[in-house]
């Protein structure tokens, strides 16, 4: 045989990267395609949004990570379509790639439950750009509050709403509370950042839905202790410039808040929908494609879906959660299946997710964890979270830097990466300012 088996992997997140690395010594030719040139350590993205870390510290260039792997090439590109009969993926720039095996690990995107207009007022936390936009939004709100003309205006700028009390929502609100209560404490002259209201809103009757109930209760207690107000069992009906409208029971309430962050649901990307269409596969409510027990699409044994885009089930038929562990184990599993096929060996048994547990961090020395069924909370859970996250950050360098950054922050409450950047950002300051002439010039009347 002259020509090598071609494996195309779409996406360099936890799943795609794990698949590529597991194929290191396989007799195949791997092409990893990602829209970005870096692997992002997504679980720490909220720390970029809240000014603790810089984007470079939680990202590793894909080329660098895979440079020693001679059977693998990395390409910058975005998959937009697939022809499963011709075994070919098409990129946005017009290029196309033939595959013998395709590993789709493109993940999901934020869902505003059909209200796409909310996106402009309530950014979500999916990319480095969104994280820096959120950072800008948070820091800028305190700047505007400092220059507000009326107490009402200042209050609206100092009211922060986080919609969705999953792990991301808890992390964001906890960090925001620490920014207001500690980091910025002495930084302003006219406002008191400690008086900022941070409100965590959730539709379900408890925070951290997928966690055991006692840990949910514990998490709520921890985040409340940090100064976050938790409002449960409410439905957001509108988000705009002025704040959030929501339904609690039968009554509709409106909350004036200049900063709203979205930590709600996810849905399939346009490419994910295209893939489902081309392969005539079934999707679940959020657009995740239902896969076989070996993570392939029914009728297409050469197409694997791993990570968040897959609706995979365990032995008991329960769907697997959209977490990094599932993606990584799925990626390695797909690589093992491909290798077995190429080498003519027996395929491994169906994918089994080995659940090591789950954890969510709330703030300094505050976290909850469920490790092999043992429930832990507070300082111990936080130390476990710290340890596990440091171990998993891909690049050795980032690991050291992040560790020191955290150590410093723990001791001083300072946050090194409090930059408001971006051309658009500067413009928005001027626009906001221009439309508020009266308000802004009020600062001179102190």
Residues 184 to 213: which contact a second copy by CB under 8 A? 184, 186-190
Stretch that binds a second copy, among 181-189, 269-277, 362-370, 378-386 (CB under 8 A): 181-189
Taking the least distance from each CB to a second copy, the nearer of 45 and 244 is 45
Residues 98 to 137: which contact a second copy by CB under 8 A? 98, 128-129
d(CA 372, CA 256): 43
Has 171 been annotated as catalytic? yes
Stretch that binds a second copy, among 30-38, 202-210, 301-309, 383-391 (CB under 8 A): 30-38
Q: Are 131 and 52 in contact (CB under 8 A)?
A: no
Taking the least distance from each CB to a second copy, the nearer of 35 and 341 is 35
Taking the least distance from each CB to a second copy, the nearer of 256 and 420 is 420
Shortest distance, CB of residue 65 to a second copy, whole angstroms?
A: 10
Residues 52 to 71: which contact a second copy by CB under 8 A? 53-57, 59, 61, 63-64, 67-68
Residue with tokens 């879906």: 305
- Is residue 3 involved in binding a second copy (CB under 8 A)? no
d(CA 144, CA 149): 10
Shortest distance, CB of residue 313 to a second copy, whole angstroms?
A: 34
Exactly one of 130, 153, 171, 358 is catalytic; which is it?
171
Tokens of 98: 């033939």
Q: Measuring CA to CA, which residue among 112, 389, 135 is closest to residue 238?
A: 112
Q: How many Å is the maximal CA-CA distance in the chain? A: 82
Shortest distance, CB of residue 436 to a second copy, whole angstroms?
A: 7
Q: What are the start-end ranges of the H helices in 96-198?
A: 128-146, 151-157, 167-178
Among 194, 237, 252, 397, binds a second copy (CB under 8 A): 397
Neighbouring CB atoms inside 10 A of 1's CB total: 6
Torsion of CA 301, 302, 304, 309, to 10 degrees: -90
- Is residue 418 involved in binding a second copy (CB under 8 A)? yes
Residues 86 to 105: which contact a second copy by CB under 8 A? 91-98
Question: How far from each other are the two terminal CA atoms of the chain, in whole angstroms?
Answer: 82
d(CA 306, CA 22): 14
Taking the least distance from each CB to a second copy, the nearer of 88 and 278 is 88
d(CA 398, CA 334): 28
Stretch that binds a second copy, among 169-177, 227-235, 298-306, 437-445 (CB under 8 A): 437-445
**3-class DSSP assignment, residue 373:** coil
Among 235, 379, 380, 404, binds a second copy (CB under 8 A): 404
Q: Measuring CA to CA, which residue among 135, 175, 140 is closest to residue 48?
A: 135
Tokens of 272: 């994910």
- Is residue 147 involved in binding a second copy (CB under 8 A)? yes
Taking the least distance from each CB to a second copy, the nearer of 128 and 338 is 128
For 344, residues 6+ apart whose C-beta sits below 8 A from its C-beta are none
Question: CA angle, corner 153, sides to 148 and 157, nearest 5?
Answer: 85
Among 35, 221, 273, 290, binds a second copy (CB under 8 A): 35
Which residues face 295 on adjacent strands? none
Taking the least distance from each CB to a second copy, the nearer of 145 and 326 is 145
- Is residue 420 involved in binding a second copy (CB under 8 A)? yes
Among 77, 123, 243, 287, binds a second copy (CB under 8 A): 77
Taking the least distance from each CB to a second copy, the nearer of 77 and 203 is 77
Stretch that binds a second copy, among 19-27, 72-80, 112-120, 300-308 (CB under 8 A): 72-80
The site for a second copy, by CB under 8 A, has a size of 74
- Is residue 282 involved in binding a second copy (CB under 8 A)? no
Q: Are 341 and 304 in contact (CB under 8 A)?
A: no
- Is residue 341 involved in binding a second copy (CB under 8 A)? no
d(CA 32, CA 10): 6
Residues 36 to 55: which contact a second copy by CB under 8 A? 36-38, 51, 53-55
Shortest distance, CB of residue 396 to a second copy, whole angstroms?
A: 8
Residue with tokens 């920014």: 179
**Using alpha carbons only, how large is the chain's radius of gyration in Å?**
23
Tokens of 217: 């209760």
Among 168, 173, 296, 398, binds a second copy (CB under 8 A): 398
Taking the least distance from each CB to a second copy, the nearer of 75 and 255 is 75
Burial class of residue 114 (count of CB atoms within 10 Å of its CB; 0-12, 13-18, 19+): exposed
Active site residues: 171
């Amino acid at each position: 045989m002259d020509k090598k088996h071609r494996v195309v992997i779409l996406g360099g997140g936890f799943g795609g990267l794990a698949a590529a690395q597991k194929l290191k010594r396989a007799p195949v030719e791997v092409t990893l395609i990602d829209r970005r040139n870096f692997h992002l350590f997504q679980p720490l993205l909220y720390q970029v949004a809240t000014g603790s870390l810089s984007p470079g510290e939680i990202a590793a260039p894909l080329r660098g990570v895979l440079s020693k792997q001679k059977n693998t090439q990395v390409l910058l590109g975005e998959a937009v379509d697939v022809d499963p009969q011709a075994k070919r993926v098409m990129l946005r720039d017009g290029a196309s790639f033939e595959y013998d095996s395709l590993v789709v690990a493109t993940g999901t995107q934020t869902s505003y439950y059909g209200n796409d207009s909310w996106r402009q007022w309530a950014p979500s936390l999916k990319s480095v750009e969104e994280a820096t936009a959120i950072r800008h939004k948070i820091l800028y709100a305190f700047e505007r509050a400092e220059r507000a003309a009326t107490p009402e205006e200042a209050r609206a700028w100092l009211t922060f709403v986080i919609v969705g009390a999953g792990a991301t929502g808890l992390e964001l609100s906890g960090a925001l509370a620490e920014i207001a209560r500690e980091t910025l404490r002495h930084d302003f002259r006219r406002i008191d950042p400690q008086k900022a209201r941070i409100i965590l809103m959730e539709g379900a009757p408890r925070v951290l839905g997928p966690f055991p109930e006692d840990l949910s209760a514990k998490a709520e207690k921890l985040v409340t202790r940090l100064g976050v107000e938790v409002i449960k069992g409410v439905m957001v009906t509108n988000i705009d410039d002025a704040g959030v409208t929501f339904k609690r029971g039968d009554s509709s309430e409106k909350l004036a808040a200049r900063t709203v962050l979205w930590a709600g649901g996810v849905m399939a990307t346009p490419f994910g929908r295209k893939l489902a269409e081309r392969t005539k596969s079934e999707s679940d409510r959020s657009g995740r494609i239902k896969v076989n027990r070996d993570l392939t699409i029914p009728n297409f044994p050469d197409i694997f879906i791993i990570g968040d885009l897959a609706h995979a089930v365990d032995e008991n038929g329960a769907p697997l959660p959209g977490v990094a562990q599932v993606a990584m184990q799925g990626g390695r599993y797909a690589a093992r299946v491909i290798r077995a096929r190429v080498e003519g060996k027996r395929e491994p048994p169906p994918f089994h997710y080995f659940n090591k547990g789950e954890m969510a961090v709330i703030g300094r020395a505050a976290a909850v964890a469920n490790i092999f069924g043992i429930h832990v909370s507070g300082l111990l859970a936080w130390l476990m979270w710290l340890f596990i996250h440091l171990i998993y950050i891909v690049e050795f360098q980032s690991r050291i830097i992040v560790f020191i950054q955290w150590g410093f922050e723990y001791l001083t409450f300072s946050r090194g990466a409090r930059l408001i950047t971006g051309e658009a950002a500067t413009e928005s300051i001027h626009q906001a300012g221009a439309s508020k002439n009266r308000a802004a010039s009020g600062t001179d009347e102190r």
